[in-house]
Chain A
Amino acid sequence: EAQVTQNPRYLITVTGKKLTVTCSQNMNHEYMSWYRQDPGLGLRQIYYSMNVEVTDKGDVPEGYKVSRKEKRNFPLILESPSPNQTSLYFCASSLIGGGAQPQHFGDGTRLSIL
């Protein structure tokens, strides 16, 4: 089954404790992206990757890191999480970048930073 898998689905942690949210897709997509969703602000893009070893900042990259060492994986790293990073996070992938192809979304990761 074609899917985007995020882990964990839920995480409660404390300020400053490094964490990684994993994202994996099985569709051989070139493009992958991370979004955060906050009430009243909609979805905002954090980082995206056009292909292996190619990443770029989205609209809200501060406090986040990403890497794309393999085509299928695109982990999101919070080196020193802070409470303002409490949010619902989504990973998405598409065949190519931009809006010419539909994006496939994971089920989301709800992060709470205390």
Chain B
Amino acid sequence: SQQGEEDPQALSIQEGENATMNCSYKTSINNLQWYRQNSGRGLVHLILIRSNEREKHSGRLRVTLDTSKKSSSLLITASRAADTASYFCATEGVGGAGSYQLTFGKGTKLSVIP
């Protein structure tokens, strides 16, 4: 099954700066989601963006989707120490068994330094 790949693998920024994480995937998708995971805890859903959408916002989060480039980005503005976590993109494929599965990438580990 296809898998999104996040880039960079790790990112370290100062509090107040913006953080941008990217996700690339291989085949057509119906939906793409972003999740956050605090160390050793369960994943928490952040944003869902559908294939016919280009941009979505939620508070300090902004997600873009470019289906022609098969990529998405997550922007966290004015980062806080509490944003320190791993961030994952997850894709739902089109057709076949992939339509019923959400496939996760390996994540970007974000460290926000106070």
The dominant DSSP class at the B interface is strand
Q: Which of A12-20, A73-81, A96-104 contacts B (4 or more CB under 8 A)?
A: A96-104
User: Across the interface, which residues of A come within 8 angstroms of B90, CB to CB?
Assistant: 99, 103
Whether B1 sits at the interface, judged by CB under 8 Å, is yes
| Partner among A50, A101, A106 whose Cβ is within 8 Å of the Cβ of B42 | A106
Interface positions of A from 84 to 110, Cβ below 8 Å from B: 88, 90, 92, 97-108, 110
Q: Do A98 and B43 contact each other (CB < 8 Å), given the known contacts A42-B105, A45-B101, A48-B101?
A: no
Count class of interface residues, chain B: 20 to 34
The interface size bin for chain A is: 20 to 34
Question: Do residues B41 and A50 form an inter-chain contact, with CB atoms below 8 A?
Answer: no
Checking B42, B91, B97 against A105 with a beta-carbon cut-off of 8 angstroms, the contacting residue is B42
A residues in contact with B50, CB < 8 Å: 100
Task: Say whether A40 contacts B101, CB under 8 Å.
Answer: no
* A53, chain B: closest CB distance, angstroms: 16
- Measured CB to CB, the residues of A under 8 A from B are 4, 31, 33, 35, 40-45, 48, 50, 56, 58-59, 88, 90, 92, 97-108, 110
Given contacts A44-B104, A45-B102, 15 further A-B contacts (CB under 8 A): A31-B100, A41-B106, A42-B3, A43-B104, A45-B103, A56-B97, A56-B100, A59-B103, A97-B101, A98-B92, A99-B31, A99-B90, A101-B48, A105-B43, A110-B40
